[in-house]
Amino acid sequence: MKLIVTFSRKTGKKPIIAQVVRDTGVLINVERAQIDSSEGEALIDIPDGSCNVVKQRLSELGASVRVLEDVISLDESRCVDCGACISICPQEVFSFDEDWKLVVNGDRCVLCGRCIEICPQRALSQKGEA
Ligand code: SF4
Ligand code: SF4
């Protein structure tokens, strides 16, 4: 399960993800992180059964948490199965089926945005932002 964690750094520079790992014992895979002097945002992957305990501890530490599910949306009416997204995606989210139709496995997505930028048909979007 993937979560987007947003946290302020104004109250200090505590390593919030490391603290949650220590406090909960849950192994957290950080797939993407963007941190500046005032704020941080991280995309983390955790075991599904650990979601509640991790969310609770993150909230206690002042972070806001959003669950990501199947985040990349494909508009099949626009897609021409060119395969450009297959080439650019670092997570192997896209593949062709036996009929050379595009297949999307959104669970792997880390929201880097590359496929959205490269698609010549504008067939891909982040869910909720189409
Ligand atoms: S890049 Fe766009 S048009 Fe090409 S296969 Fe991917 S979604 Fe379809
Ligand atoms: S946003 Fe990045 S990781 Fe997600 S499907 Fe597109 S290229 Fe792959």
- pLDDT recorded at residue 130: 41
Residue 84 and residue 101 in one domain = yes
Number of domains in the chain: 2
Residue 21 and residue 38 in one domain = yes
Query: Which ligand is nearest the CA of 84, by number?
Result: 1
Written as one letter, the residue type at 108 is R
Ligand 2 pocket check for 47: Cβ under 6 Å: no
Kindly calculate the radius of gyration of the chain based on its CA atoms and give it in whole angstroms.
Answer: 17
Please name every residue paired with 94 in a beta bridge, in sequence order, or none if there are none. 104
**Residue numbers of the domain that contains 49:** 2-68
pTM exceeding the 0.85 threshold for the entire prediction: no
Q: Is the dihedral of CA 62, 68, 72, 77 positive or negative?
A: negative
| Ligand 1 atom with least separation from CA of 83 | 5
Query: Which ligand is nearest the CA of 77, by number?
Result: 1
The pLDDT tens digits for 33-53 are: 888 878 889 999 999 899 999
Which has the closest alpha carbon to 19: 7, 36, 32, 10?
7
Residue 77 and residue 63 in one domain = no
Take atom 5 of ligand 1 and give the residue whose Cα is closest: 81
Ligand 2 pocket check for 118: Cβ under 6 Å: no
HEC readout, 7-44: EECCCCCCCHHHHHHHHHCCCCEEEEEEECCCEEEEEE
The pLDDT tens digits for 63-116 are: 999 888 768 999 999 999 999 999 999 999 999 999 999 999 988 888 889 999
Residue 6 and residue 64 in one domain = yes
| Ligand 1 atom with least separation from CA of 86 | 6
Which has the closest alpha carbon to 55: 107, 14, 2?
2
Take atom 3 of ligand 1 and give the residue whose Cα is closest: 79
Confidence of residue 13 (pLDDT cuts 50, 70, 90): low
Last residue of a domain, which of 51, 68, 85?
68
Residue 39 and residue 87 in one domain = no
